[in-house]
Structure 1
């Protein structure tokens, strides 16, 4: 009897894993089945719809972005098409063009495609980008303050640091990743999971290390939102030094943005 139960449990577990794998594969395939409509297809699609219908769908897309962006996790095109655009996918480019205009003119936000391969988007505050006054550059909530410290360490150390350096730095600030913090809770989870999913940080396994070691780098969202010049200014005040005394960091902070940086996309 016990043996039959074990066999049944094993079969059930195996079936569950197969179903989970199937669902994940289906999610990955959702976007691959979506083909960008041509301008002719878009025009034909618009002719079959009323202006009110297009406006309503655009409003739904805008609302979806605003709600999802509260968690600062990038939004996948596949999810957007599947859950919001739905039967309007043949006019997807027009909807996105209108959404981009609304974000720009109404909310002062810029829609940015940070991953052109997997088509993932984030919203960036245009005023923050221009003035360098983002919540991270002038953090007002504790989590953003924690993130600001980590990004500062990575930047000042040349763009990549081993995780031990981050943990030791936080310990000096009385934030121990091995202990539950009254403000952040599980600090290690916040840093290695939450900030990583939000694309503020990259947390990468260092090859051929045993036990496994990891290193941190700036994530795509940090590159878009965080002013390196502000970080350098902050470090100068902290150490009572002229920011130009860190010559390498100063050059990087005041160089023109990389041409490979993600750009606004209204067509994808």
Structure 2
């Protein structure tokens, strides 16, 4: 799509960046848009809540239990409802649905990264922050592997996340991104060299490099936009180079 910017995960992709999109794809962030109002939206939302509850309880999710909470008139559309719920959970929370027992139709939710407390960062109530972290890593990657604090807040504000204002999923965002995720070494938050007055920027932290990759982050963004990673041309090329370097480093380390 040329001539206008494309919003990926709440971030404006430059208008001069050519991105091929699948037909009927969504260009909006899953965090900011209202769900499509159809007969299955409420049922899908209820299923998402149930699945996230089971995830927090560290218990498997059984098809028989999911069917119990779905309106009887929608039971024949269970596969579609499950796909919708799985997609929502992945793009918002950064958690994948995996089948672990095909005979019992048992599933578990697996975080894309190893954040503490099932992705909730700190103990207690709350929701996984992995989806937000994957988006932040994407912003940093697409801004040349270093995003200014202004870039990050522009992105967060589009998600309706504001400094000092608690969000029902992500908590207080400034503390999360400048303290919690920095302390856990998923983000690096540093002063821009020679800036006066002081300005700050974000980079990937060592744990982000260890637990994910540019390609995985690009795949995450592509899924949100219902397209393929190769649609993000220049970033896809960089991600491929990164994969090759990782492979070479692994071979060298295994030989030493």
* TM-score normalised according to structure 1 size: 0.42
Q: Which has the larger radius of gyration?
A: 1
User: Larger % of helix: which?
Assistant: 1
